[in-house]
Chains A and B, each alone.
Chain A
Amino acid sequence: DVKVTQSSRYLVKRTGEKVFLECVQDMDHENMFWYRQDPGLGLRLIYFSYDVKMKEKGDIPEGYSVSREKKERFSLILESASTNQTSMYLCASSYLREGPEETQYFGPGTRLLVL
């Protein structure tokens, strides 16, 4: 079974704090993704990475950065947390190649509250 784990299920931070969200996958997937999920807005892509040290902006990268130093680990960084970054954050991973095996595997999510 593919496992995608996220470092925290719930997190409470103060405005202005630097926040790290960690994601680890154990399937040697090339692709990794960070989404935020908000009611009525669905999943919106923040950043994705298709290789170590590679990153691509998604649809809403402002206020976020990412780091991928190892293939299995993809970190999302909020440089200075703001209240509008209160959300559910989902990490996902997938193989780079297309085909019947193609699917995104999701982590359990981190619910972040910024006060």
Chain B
Amino acid sequence: AQTVTQSQPEMSVQEAETVTLSCTYDTSESDYYLFWYKQPPSRQMILVIRQEAYKQQNATENRFSVNFQKAAKSFSLKISDSQLGDAAMYFCAYRRSGGYQKVTFGTGTKLQVIP
């Protein structure tokens, strides 16, 4: 079974600084997708960034980028120029390629942004 591990239950970052959230996963598949989701306090969960395993290039979305290391099964999220609105729970998630596949989530990292 696939597992997703987020080893940092909580992290903090100064406003305008950079922070990296860690995620590792375990799979025997070669084709899959990885995601980072953000859940702000009392607000709905939204997708931050998505990576296809067959793509070597790391995905970026504005201030958010990933470091995808397929051999190491590592998928970290870097947030640059952190803003107060980045404070949230962040979940790493894995989905195997192919139809009818479920998504497996990690346990989450709570990010605090210090003004």
Assembled-state Cα–Cα distance A102/B99 (Å): 12
Cβ B47 vs Cβ A103 within 8 A? yes
User: CA A104 – CA B43 in complex, angstroms?
Assistant: 15
B11 at the interface (CB under 8 A from A): no
* The one of B45, B97, B100 that contacts A106, using a Cβ cutoff of 8 Å: B45
Q: Are B108 and A42 in contact (CB under 8 A)?
A: yes
Most chain-B Cβ atoms within 10 A of its Cβ — which of A44, A102, A107?
Answer: A102
Chain B contacts for A92, CB-based, 8 A:
45
What does the 1/0 interface line of A32-58 toward B look like (CB < 8 Å)?
010100001111110010100000101
Q: Which residues of B contact A35 (CB under 8 A)?
A: 105
Kindly state the separation between the CA atoms of A102 and B97 in the bound complex, as whole angstroms: 11
Are the CB atoms of A104 and B103 closer together than 8 Å? yes
A98 within 8 A of B: yes
Query: Does A108 lie within 8 Å of B44, measured CB to CB?
Result: yes
Q: Which residues in chain B, 72-103, are within 8 Å of chain A measured between CB atoms?
A: 91, 97-100, 102-103
Residues of A within 8 A of B98 (CB): 98
Chain B, Cβ-Cβ closest to A109: B44
Q: Hey, which chain B residues are within 8 Å of A42, CB to CB?
A: 6, 91, 105-108
Decide yes or no: A104 and B47 within 8 Å by CB, A42-B91, A98-B97 being known contacts: yes
- Report yes or no: B33 in contact with A106, Cβ–Cβ below 8 A: no
CA distance A41 to B37 in the complex (A): 15
CB 8 Å contact bits of A90-115 with B (1 = contact, 0 = none): 10100011101011101111000000
Asked, given contacts A40-B9, A98-B97, whether A45 binds B103 with beta carbons under 8 Å apart, the answer is yes
Q: Which B residues lie at the A interface, using CB under 8 A?
A: 6, 9, 33, 35, 37, 43-47, 50, 91, 97-100, 102-108
The list of the 5 closest CB pairs from A to B, nearest first, reads A42-B107, A106-B45, A43-B105, A103-B47, A42-B105
8 A–B contacts from the bound complex (CB under 8 Å): A4-B44, A42-B107, A42-B108, A43-B105, A45-B102, A90-B45, A106-B46, A108-B44
